[in-house]
């Protein structure tokens, strides 16, 4: 949305008004609709007033950090109802209306009611659902588009429900696996904070009275104690503000999102979780599209939109360009550098033997198994890091407190 200053004449008086609109033409139309007897002289784009800039920033900032997805359980239930009704021969339009009445999720009900209105205006289901891409997810849009392209909406919706259930189970596994390390980290943080606020100050008084030259670990410990006790509230607020601003930038700034997505793939363990989850989802959707007879280029386009990570999405999007330039699918996949040699050979065998969909399914299973293996062994992967972190904290506290006391004991002996 842009700001336009519109000059017009109404009742023999010249007036001007600031209008927020998508284009200059829209701004003029808004003034004409509001003042039918007025004559528009000119309209030109202007910078937004300061109060509008602040208002727009607040709206976009809090809108970005508070935007939430539909509960997966509610979405799966609605999708299954749609699948049953369309399979029974009920039109998708009537099915949407009935599900909107039946669902108890207020957010989902509002979406389906708006989709119903858009279907009445002549839009396809894919077009009607497109504005709610964030709320329902890219996979939902991809499978709905598949249903419309193949003419078998019931089958696509059934498969969509299965995919969403699998994704929900994976999310539950990840949360369950992360529960232990998160609990340990929170416990360590609480214990460390209590030590800094109530224990270290007691030793600080002793060290101050001695006036001795303190070792580096003790100075570091006292510095941290001073920062937490003096600026603890500001540090906490700063951390919260940083997290919120990061979330805002990640959702609204494409360049920032691309840089974060590229970096996070290099982070130990987290990168592997994101990579295998993304590749498993891509291969699952791509396999279903190919099996349904969708052309390779279109199938790639649809499957790529289900990927959240921009770095992976960009590389997979290049596969379509390679295919369009005359490369076969195996060469295009190999050029991305995302697929292991074994998987490339499997795809090559399927492509040359006329069993591409079967081999793609095996590749999809491979990525799914790798993802499940990481999730099931997540605690084992994280434990060495936690042990190292705890050891470092204990060592710092021990050295910071006991080194000066040892020096004191030596001084007393001499």
Per DSSP, the residues of 5-35 read EEEEEETTEEEEEEEEESSHHHHHHHHHHH-
Task: List the one residue out of 258, 288, 320, 355 whose CA is nearest residue 150.
Answer: 288
CB 8 within 8 A of CB 15: yes
Which pLDDT does position 237 carry in this prediction? Answer: 92
CB 193 within 8 A of CB 372: no
Residue with tokens 């939902």: 140
Q: At what angle do helices 153-194 and 72-87 cross, to 10 degrees?
A: 170
Which pLDDT does position 407 carry in this prediction? Answer: 62
Say which residues have a Cβ less than 8 Å from residue 368's Cβ, sequence separation at least 6: 280, 284
Burial 320-359 (b: 16+ CB within 10 A, else e): bebbeeeeebbbbbbeeebbeeebeebbbebbeeeebbeb
Burial 195-215 (b: 16+ CB within 10 A, else e): bbeeebeebbeebeeeeeebe
Which pLDDT does position 61 carry in this prediction? Answer: 47
CB 181 within 8 A of CB 382: yes
Burial class of residue 132, CB neighbours in 10 A (0-12, 13-18, 19+): buried
CB 125 within 8 A of CB 148: yes
Task: List the one residue out of 260, 93, 273 whose CA is nearest residue 177.
Answer: 273
Could you tell me where the beta strands, DSSP code E, fall in 234-274?
none
Angle, vertex CA 41, rays to CA 39 and CA 47, nearest 5? 125
Burial 102-120 (b: 16+ CB within 10 A, else e): ebebebbbebbeebbebbe
CB 339 within 8 A of CB 347: yes
What's the alpha-carbon Rg for the chain, to the nearest Å? 30
Measured CA to CA, the distance from residue 289 to residue 298 in angstroms comes to 9
Residue with tokens 């195996």: 330
Q: Which two tokens stand for residue 211?
A: 């006036």
Measured CA to CA, the distance from residue 155 to residue 132 in angstroms comes to 22
Which pLDDT does position 99 carry in this prediction? Answer: 86
Beta bridge partners of 230: none
Dihedral class, residue 387 (left if φ above 0, else alpha if ψ from -120 to 50, else beta): alpha
> Would you call 45 helix, strand, or coil by DSSP?
strand
CB 133 within 8 A of CB 276: no
- Helices of type H across 195-253: 200-210, 216-252
Measured CA to CA, the distance from residue 134 to residue 69 in angstroms comes to 6
Question: How remote is the C-alpha of 392 from its chain's centroid?
Answer: 32
Residue with tokens 């969708």: 294
Tens-binned pLDDT, residue by residue, of the chain (414 aa): 678 888 888 878 888 888 878 788 888 888 888 787 778 888 888 877 666 666 665 555 445 444 567 788 888 888 898 889 888 888 888 888 888 888 888 888 888 888 888 888 888 888 888 888 878 887 888 888 878 877 888 888 888 888 888 878 877 877 887 788 888 888 888 888 888 888 788 777 777 776 667 778 888 888 888 888 888 889 889 998 898 888 888 888 888 899 999 999 998 888 898 899 889 888 888 888 888 777 888 888 888 887 888 999 999 989 888 888 888 888 899 988 888 889 999 989 988 888 888 888 899 889 989 988 888 887 788 888 888 888 888 888 888 877 777 766 554 554
> Would you call 43 helix, strand, or coil by DSSP?
strand
Measured CA to CA, the distance from residue 401 to residue 395 in angstroms comes to 10
């Amino acid at each position: 949305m842009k700001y336009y200053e519109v000059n017009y004449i109404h009742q023999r008086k010249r007036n001007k008004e600031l209008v927020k609109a998508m284009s200059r033409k829209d701004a003029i139309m808004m003034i004409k609709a509001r003042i039918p007897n007025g004559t528009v002289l000119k309209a030109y784009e202007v910078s937004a007033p300061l109060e509008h800039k602040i208002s727009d920033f607040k709206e976009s900032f809090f809108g970005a950090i508070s935007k939430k997805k539909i509960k997966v359980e509610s979405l799966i239930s609605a999708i299954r109802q749609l699948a049953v009704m369309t399979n029974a021969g009920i039109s998708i339009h009537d099915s949407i209306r009935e599900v909107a009445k039946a669902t108890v999720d207020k957010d989902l009900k509002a979406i389906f009611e708006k989709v119903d209105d858009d279907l009445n205006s002549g839009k396809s289901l894919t077009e009607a659902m497109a504005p709610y891409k964030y709320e329902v997810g890219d996979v939902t849009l991809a499978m709905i588009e598949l249903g419309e392209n193949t003419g078998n909406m019931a089958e696509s919706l059934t498969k969509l429900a299965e995919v969403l259930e699998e994704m929900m189970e994976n999310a539950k596994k990840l949360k369950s696996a992360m529960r232990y390390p998160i609990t340990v980290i929170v416990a360590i943080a609480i214990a460390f904070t209590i030590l800094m606020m109530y224990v270290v100050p007691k030793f600080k008084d002793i060290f101050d009275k001695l006036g001795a030259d303190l070792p580096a670990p003790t100075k570091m410990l006292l510095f941290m104690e001073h920062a937490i006790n003096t600026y603890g509230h500001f540090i906490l607020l700063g951390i919260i503000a940083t997290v919120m601003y990061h979330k805002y930038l990640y959702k609204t700034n494409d360049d920032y999102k691309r840089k974060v997505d590229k970096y996070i793939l290099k982070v130990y363990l987290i990168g592997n979780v994101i990579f295998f989850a993304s590749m498993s989802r891509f291969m699952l959707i791509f396999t279903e599209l190919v099996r349904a007879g969708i052309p390779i280029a279109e199938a790639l386009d649809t499957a790529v939109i289900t990927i959240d990570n921009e770095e992976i999405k960009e590389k997979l999007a290049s596969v379509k360009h390679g295919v369009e330039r005359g490369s076969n699918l195996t060469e295009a996949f190999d050029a991305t550098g995302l697929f292991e040699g074994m998987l490339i050979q499997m795809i090559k065998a399927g492509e040359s033997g006329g069993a591409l969909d079967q081999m793609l399914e095996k590749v999809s299973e491979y990525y799914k198994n790798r993802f499940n293996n990481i999730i099931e062994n997540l605690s084992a992967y994280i434990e060495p890091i936690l042990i190292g972190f705890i050891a470092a904290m204990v060592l710092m506290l021990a050295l910071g407190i006991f080194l000066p006391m040892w020096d004191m004991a030596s001084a007393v002996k001499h």
